[in-house]
Structure 1
Amino acid sequence: MVLPNVLLIAAFTYRPLLTNIYYSTLNWTLGSPTASKVGLGNYREFFTDPESLQVLWTTAIFTVATVGGAMILGLGLATVLNRPLRGRTFARATIFAPFVLSGVGIGLVWVFIFDPVTGLLGAIIRGFGGTSPQWFNDPKLALTMVIIVYIWKNTGYCAVIYLAAMQAVPADLVEAAAIDGAGRVRTFFSVVLPLLSPTTFFLLLTSILNSLQAFDLIRIMTPLGNGTTTLMYDAYLQAFGGYNRAGYSAAVATILFGILLVMTVVQLTLLERKVHYS
């Protein structure tokens, strides 16, 4: 009964993975009918290229900022929505909506908002007598812009997951803390937050994997990768951005896969042991 699913996974997941690893050992120009074997030459070039260090640094900044920002804001929103407020159901749906919307559509809307000439944000800044920053020309501002949009898109996901976990916290523990004289802040940090550690672990794992594989927003908002070239986007640019270096692109993708694999194994083996409470 399991065999058909195993065959599908092998055909559409593991076979492309192994094929990509093989391509990473070739010096292959995209579209060329021939390719020469270079062994680990593509990997050697990546780790000796000064620009690769910048790509790794950009990837690290983007991942840490987006994961941390979305989780912290999501936790704050979940705390607010966990209280009996009017319109709470509508607020939950509104907050979660950006996560399920198309990344391409979101990117196009935010490109208009950040446009320094015709954008909404620029108009607001000029209304207060200021000058709109050149979001698309400055590499640091471009990365900041993409980080802001990615956090906005994923905060709702973290908020909904945290909210579901908060509603599962035993009420008797919260009541016992109140009887012992603990205020809301002390109860949250001493009772609720520790019980949310399995959820925090789950969100940390999934958010890191999603951030490392972010592509659509970066592609739409910064097509040339001006300061926003992560590992995922670098693999795209090397193959389809004018370089046509399919073999080198496959090597970059394989390096990204290795990073994802190592981080997943480390998190599953080390962190999961510390997040469950009996």
Structure 2
Amino acid sequence: MPLNSLLRLLLLAALWGGSFLFLRISAPVLGIVTTAFGRVMLGALGLLVWLAIMRVPLRFSGRFWVVAAIGTLTSGLPFLLYSAAAQVLPAAYSSILNAMTPLMGVLIGGTFFGEQVTPKKVLGVFMGLGGVVVLSETGPVALNATTALAVAACLMATVCYALSGFLTKRLISDHGTIDNRAVAFGSQVGGVIVLAPFMLWQSYAAPLAWSQVGAEVWVSMLGLGLLCTSFAYILFFRLISEIGALSTLTVTFLIPLFGVLWGWLLLHERLSLGYALGGGLIMLALLLVLPVFGRLGRSLAPRPD
């Protein structure tokens, strides 16, 4: 992997790991709906500006509403669920649980989309679920009904991400040549559409005292929407074009490391053996499920002349 691509991969992991830090700062102050809506709105605006600068045509081949509907799963619901979890769980917890997305993909793909499920993948899924149990039982946050619901919210978000991947391929990628960057923008618009009614209701029923919102919350929201969403998508698609989708998946292994690091450095979250045990099991599970390291190893191995 070229050095520039490696640096971009690390930056992408740092940004997506940092999203859980920003959520932990913003969600307890702004609330679940406002945080999620603000993220998709800023993400959509940032991507719109970028697409205009790059002169990427917003052509959806008559499938805009399909893209927007899938955006409910790629942006709206996951951002809402992670915002809810951020009111209870440390940033490190959510970032580690986010790594369950490929494992959920195995379950969903095998159950609903006819994907081949090998014994190795099944073992990986159970190992990953075991990692969730270990993290919940041994982490620095006491396990009770509230934290259990927050963990469940994170896992439901990974289900949304995994399901959206299959639906995007079946309903969008296989039905035309819509630019992936336009799909990214459309997904954020879909998130805005689905969350807007809830945002309007909350603004009416429980208006927020905006004058009491501190500067760190505003900075966190800007970071969440513009850096961790808009700019992260730019890096993501740049990496796919440079090193391929499979190699870009290695970011999944790096996000929890940055999630734990940022939580420890900036929020003074207490490190725990549970992070190493639970997170380690989930990382081993990913090694079983994702073929990326095996293929990378074969591509880098010496070849006979």
- What TM-score does the superposition give when structure 2 sets the normalisation length? 0.24
- Taking CA–CA contacts closer than 8 Å with sequence separation of 6 or more, which of the two structures ends up with the larger relative contact order? 2
Q: Which is higher, the Rg of structure 1 or of structure 2? A: 1
